[in-house]
Structure 1
Amino acid sequence: ITCLPSPKVSEAVLAGSDGLLDGLAAGGTWIEMSTNGRDEILRLAALASAKGVETLECPVTGGVHLAAAGKITALVGGDAALYERHRPAIQAMCAKSFLMGPVGSGAVIKVITNMLAFIHLVAAGEALMLANQGGLDLAQAYHAIVASSGNSFVHETESQLILNGSYDIGFTMDLALKDLGFALCMARDFRVPLQLAPLVNQIFEVGRQKYGGGAWSTQIVKLLEDAVGTELRAPGFPAKLEL
């Protein structure tokens, strides 16, 4: 089982010198929980298959705080029988799991969910800034949005870290741009003329240039804070997400 930051690292761990394929016997299973693009996981699965090793892709979604509590969601791609064989291990780590189809399917839905999350993050920041500049109490505005039709999981969770000022989501600008890049590649491959994702990708590129690739992805909202000249802060919100 691997959960790694990039396809390059996954390939090194899988097929590099003294990698998994040097020690995993034919008939074994590689459960890959990293976020990969569709082409990347198909290529890595082919490397494993050449050594007689089956692949079950199992990227996860829900955030670091849910992962720490064992309540994350698994988005599985692979053979149905292989999934059933390893379902107990997946269920031990994840509260929910969805078999999306063959290998590659998990990557597609995971990239989609992350694309949505980054779009929602930028939108949440804009909403909070409008509320602030409109003279609203930001804590009340936060809770009103949570109770509204405009709510999102990202607002409900990550907006708390913005209002606290820690921004500590445990996920970096570099990782956000990696996943947005996967989404843009999929759009080209599938001939889907996306409009929001390319714009959000551009915003994150500016954020990385200004704050660095290691800055938390939630700090993308600082671009708006800096432009307006005010911080989005309210009392009573945590520095880190907890269940």
Structure 2
Amino acid sequence: MNVAFIGLGTMGAPMAGHLLKSDCALRVYNRGAARAQQWSERFGAPVSQTVAEAVAEADVVALCLGADEDVRAMVSEHLLAHLKAGVVIVDHSTTSAALARDMSALCDKQQVAFIDAPVSGGQAGAEAGKLTVMAGGREEAFARIEPVLDGYAAKYRLVGESGAGQLAKMVNQVCIAGLLQGLAEGIHLGQSAGLDMEAVLDTISGGAAQSWQMDNRASTMLKGQYDFGFAVDWMRKDLGYVLDEARRQGASLPVTALVDQFYAQVQQLGGGRNDTSSLLRALQSSLKGEQH
């Protein structure tokens, strides 16, 4: 299988790197020259100079870009002019569900399949090849990309028609945001009361309060370490899609809307590139403000 991978950022770079160890013939492309050079040096493989070169023989094109506008431009302005009929585009970017449906309809006109397949697991999951993929699209197209997903995902599933993958990712982000805010508030309360929070967290992690976030982020939160992982800027972009979709669906998400504003406070503190566990910063900053 000939695979083109476009987008060699924090997530895309290791995902594409894993495909070098698979049975597929891989070509990669990145819009920025610096990241392209970094990927080539890290993995010892060439990078295509143009989109057309990368996708010339592709059976599957994987995208790992930024927001709606990035995917729309790549597909409509660059990709479709160079793809043969029968190609499957699998989009690992996190976008709106409406964008996924638009791209699917656009691709259908040229006999190209489009699968929206956002990922969860963060940078650590991408590096380890243990991501979770939630996908929307047609079953026959999804079946064709499974050998590609095997390269960097521990779990993947088609959850519905076009747009369903992005909707599932929204559910994922809502759950994460709520958990992180609860963890941040718990730590904040314990620290304010003078508790030994390492002991407390070690104890309660064996009970009903346990979560992936507690297991993987609580220790770094205690140390004030946030220079890694999924950035606040990215989470706010994702939550923007979530809240827009909630308004369209008439769904009430009061906690998510509130946590989004707490993330805005972290951005105002200069923490836009901090890991999403930095919600604790907003609480600590508020306490300092009250003390002054």
Q: Do both proteins adopt the same fold according to a TM-score greater than 0.5, normalized to the shorter chain?
A: yes
Aligned to 2:64: 3
CA-CA distance at 1:171 after TM superposition? 2.0
CA-CA distance at 1:51 after TM superposition? 2.3
Determine helix, strand or coil for the equivalent of 1:211: coil
Aligned to 1:232: none
CA-CA distance at 1:22 after TM superposition? 2.1
Aligned to 1:67: 126
> Structure 2 vs 1, CA of residues 176 and 48 (structure 1 numbering), >3 Å: closer, same or farther?
same
Provide structure 1 residue ranges, at least 5 long, that are not aligned to the other structure.
Answer: 230-243
Aligned to 1:240: none
Aligned to 1:78: 137
Q: Does 1:148 align with 2:216?
A: no
Q: Distance in 2 between matches of 1:213 and 1:61?
A: 20
Aligned to 1:233: none
Determine helix, strand or coil for the equivalent of 1:74: strand
Q: Indicate if the aligned counterparts of 2:227 and 2:274 stay in contact, CA closer than 8 A.
A: no
CA RMSD of aligned residues (A): 1.8
Q: Distance in 2 between matches of 1:185 and 1:219?
A: 24
Q: Deviations over 1:188-242 (max 9, x none)?
A: 111112221111112122222232533433322211122234xxxxxxxxxxxxx
Match for 2:286 among 182, 206, 227? Answer: 227
Q: Distance in 1 between matches of 2:108 and 2:213?
A: 37
Q: TM-score, normalized by length of structure 2?
A: 0.73
Aligned to 2:75: 14
Q: Indicate if the aligned counterparts of 1:70 and 1:95 stay in contact, CA closer than 8 A.
A: yes
Deviates more, 1:209-218 or 1:26-35: 209-218
Q: Indicate if the aligned counterparts of 1:6 and 1:36 stay in contact, CA closer than 8 A.
A: yes
Match for 2:163 among 83, 104, 112? Answer: 104
Q: Deviations over 1:175-194 (max 9, x none)?
A: 11111111111211111122
Which is bigger in relative contact order (C-alpha 8 A, separation at least 6)? Answer: 1
Q: Distance in 1 between matches of 2:232 and 2:124?
A: 18
Displaced runs of 4+ in structure 1, greater than 3 A? 212-216
Q: Does 1:51 align with 2:107?
A: no
Identity of aligned residues (%): 28
Q: State the number of aligned residues.
A: 228
Aligned pairs for 1:1-243 (under 5 A) are 1-16=62-77, 19-229=78-288
Determine helix, strand or coil for the equivalent of 1:31: strand
